[in-house]
Amino acid sequence: METLYSVTVGILTACSVFLILRGRSFPVVVGITMLSYAVNLFLFSTGRLTIDGAPILGTQESYADPLPQALVLTAIVIGFAMTAYSIILAVRARGEIGTDEVNDQNNSTEGKR
Partner 1 sequence: MNLLFIIMAPLFGALLPLVLKQAPRSVKTLVTLLITIASILTVLQYAPQTLAGEIPKQLVEWLPGLGLDFAVRLDGLSLLFVGLILGIGVLIIIYAHYYLSEADDDARFYGCLLLFMASMLGIVMADNILLMWAFWELTSISSFLLIGYWFHSSDARRGARMALATTGAGGLALLAGLLIIGNIAGSYQFDQVLAAADQIKAHAYYTPALILVLLGAFTKSAQFPFQFWLPHAMAAPTPVSAYLHSATMVKAGIFLLARFHPVMAGTELWFTIVTVVGLITMLIGAYFALLKHDLKGLLAFSTVSHLGLICMMLGIGTQGAVVTAMFHIINHACFKAGLFMTAGIIDHESGTRDMRKLQGLMGLMPLTATLAMVVAASMAGIPPFNGFMSKELFLDQAVQQHLFGGLSWFVPILATVGAALSVAYSIRFIHDVFFNGDYKELPKKPHDPPRMMSAPVALLAGLCVIIGLAPMATVSGIINQAASAVTAIPVEVKLSLWHGFNVPLLMSLVAVVGGIVIYSARDQLFTFNRQFDGQDAKHNFERIVQRINDACARFFDWLDTGSLQRYMAFVLISVIVILLPTLMEISAVTGSNPQLPIDMVSMVGALVLIAAAFGTATLHRNRFVMLMMLSVVGLMVSLSFAHFSAPDLAMTQLVVEVVSIVLMILALFFMPQKTARASSGHRVFRDIIIASFIGGIVATLNFAILTSPLESISDFFIANAKTGGGGTNVVNVILVDFRGFDTLGEITVLAIAAAGIHKLLNKLKPFMPSSDVDGRPWHRIKHPLMLTNVANLILPMAMMVAVYIFLRGHNLPGGGFIAGLIAASAMILQYIANGVDWVKDRFNVNYQSLMSIGVMIAALTGVGSWIFSKPFLTSWFTYLNWPVVGKWEFATALLFDLGVFLTVIGATMMILSNFGKMTTRHRPTYEGN
Check binding of 80 to partner 1 (CB under 8 A).
yes
In the complex, least distance from residue 59 CB atom to partner 1, rounded to whole angstroms: 8
Question: Does 110 engage in binding with partner 1 (CB under 8 A)?
Answer: no
Q: Show contacts with partner 1 in window 40-79 (CB under 8 A).
A: 40-42, 44-58, 63-67, 69-70, 72-74, 76-79
> Applying CB under 8 A, does 10 fall inside the site for partner 1?
yes
CA distance 57 to 60: 7
Closest CA to 9 of 41, 47, 57: 41
Q: Does residue 32 bind partner 1 (CB under 8 A)?
A: no
Regarding 94 and contact with partner 1 (CB under 8 A), the answer is yes
**Exposure on the CB side of residue 10, measured as CA atoms within 13 A:** 6
Number of residues that bind partner 1 (CB under 8 A): 89
C-alpha span between 28 and 82 (Å, rounded): 13
Question: Does 97 interact with partner 1 (rule: CB under 8 A)?
Answer: no
Cα 62 to Cα 52, 57, 68, 109: the distances in Å are: 9, 9, 16, 62
Rounded to a whole number of angstroms, the minimum distance from the CB of residue 50 to partner 1 is 5
